[in-house]
Chain A
Amino acid sequence: MPGKSLSPWTLSWFGSAMIALLLALVLALAAGIGPEDFDRPEALAIVHLFALGWLAQVMLGALVQFVPVLAARPLAFSRLALPALLASSLGTLALAGGFLSLDGYEIARPFFLLGPVALGLGFAMLAVMILATLVTRQTLRLPEVRMVLVALAGLAGLWLSGAAMVSTLAGSRVAVDLSQALPLHMLFGIGGFLTFAAFGVSYKLFAMFLLAPEAASWQRRAVFALAAMMAGLMLTGLLMLAGDAGITPLLIAVCGISLAGAALYLDDVRRLWQARRRAHPELNMSWSRMALGFLALSVLLLPFAIWQGGALARASVFAALVGWLSTLTLAQMIRITAFLTWIQIFAPLIGRRKVPTVQSLTHPRRAGLALTIWSLSAAIGTLSLATGFHAGFRLALCGLLIAATQILCELVAIRSLSHLPAPERPGLLPPLILPAFLKSQHSAENQI
């Protein structure tokens, strides 16, 4: 089997995430969500569909694919990938549906409690796979591996804070102060889990794509130390929350650490960029630079978000989720999908006949246009949220939906080898998002 160290379910994770992204954007437009509407139950449902269904799913799918590369060993307990995907998808849908119970739809109330249970199950299965693969004496020395482990601690904090908030909203006995829990929950999700995981993965991926030296720098070690400190502080905040203590001083400390950590990370990436041997970086790396710009913007807005809350807090969160994490993910997803497709179809032909490059499976100009629309819309959305400009925010949502649809079409084109000249395409293609082994043996043999 080509690429036996690869998880066969990665494209299913990506497919599920893309569906959630499109669904979230369509629902946000249909529900008329504007800059002042983020307290509405349907807005909370849509935000969770976006953050969990799109970003968390795609990040977890990427981690399942990528930890074997980090650890240089096959994925442990790889059979858990499918049940983990199903549990986290069910949990996301249940949670999103459950939020509607806050709007009086009593029928949705049971889903509210089912959401955290299913999500917890899915996250636990993923944590088992990732920890069992990554934790060895050799790999633990690598800062990027440690960063992924801190991200898992962030995921645990995200789940714990989220479950406590759901319990409170559902009227259970376990209750927390929601005004204190909310900023901590968002910091766990955006910073503690998604950003730390993106840092850990990007150190290796950026070096590989740029052909830059992989050696760990002092900046990387410092970023890990700050990330560990931040995760520790946030987990302490969780305990303080349970004890009804105020966490404002802790949030200020987390804000300071975020600023320092992001600055060091950006400096480390600048160092990689300057040391690269690839003279003309590919599309995924060019657009990752745009994502890094949004990282800087969201972190610069963070002190105002914590100090003032309101519009600037929403702008900071939007810049992080849509500008930083989504732009990075979409740009890399195009490249990773092309790479996985190449492995499935052309890897068995290496050395036997001329094979196309991975890049030739993509259409950089078309994908670049989609990413331009996405980034512009992310910028307009951030500005509109900061200024409370309703029409601007709605325009941004339209742009995001157009860009996401274009990227989905591009991903399908990559999987279908549409950008390759006809003589270079095999007769049979692997399934779009399901593993190739689900096709009959006869079909699989004819793919190549």
Chain B
Amino acid sequence: MNWEEIFIALPKLLDGALLTVELVLISCIVGFVIATPVALMRSSQNWWLRNIPLIYTYFFRGTPLLVQLFLFYYGLGQFEAVRESFLWPVLREAYWCALIVFALNTGAYTAEIFRGAIQAIPHGEIEAGVAIGMKKATLYRRVVLPRAIRMALPSYGNEIILMLKSSALAYTITLFDLTGVTRTIIARNYLAIEMYFTAGVIYLLLTFIFIQVWMRLEKHLLRFQKV
């Protein structure tokens, strides 16, 4: 193990880790915003409301993230119509492409997690809300959503960890995220074991920090369950 080279590479690797955290954080926030209405539609009684967003969740859950990135980044860029549209200033940047694809991808998974949680709410709790005369909007705001999010927390935390690891694909579209920096350094110093080892430790550390935060959040939101 060449510790000296690891030490030299560390600042660059941490720079990459910063981009990784940024990508995951923003895409998860945007993904959450997408997922909530989609989950509500997916758990609707109306056939159309229920099935139209299925096209979206089915595509993003049914194809590899790598394929989605390539289609979005390299694929769209090949069309002159896209290159001449007002969207191009955004789409020409690898950073935005990665954010958009990551957000749509995690949004699709999160929506299905939330849908499952909404459908798992004990029927009695909803009936109780109806019985005391809650309007539909109030019922969703006060009962359905808070209850669903609490039930979804463990699997939602899992999805965010998966997103952190999937973000390693960002390097395939020229971004210098943690994996991108690692591979670029290896191309010069040939110390694959040392560099991947260090990158792995940084990923573990990020996951560790996230788990601590998430456990506190779960504890806080589920404090009523304490006996």
Same complex for A and B? Answer no
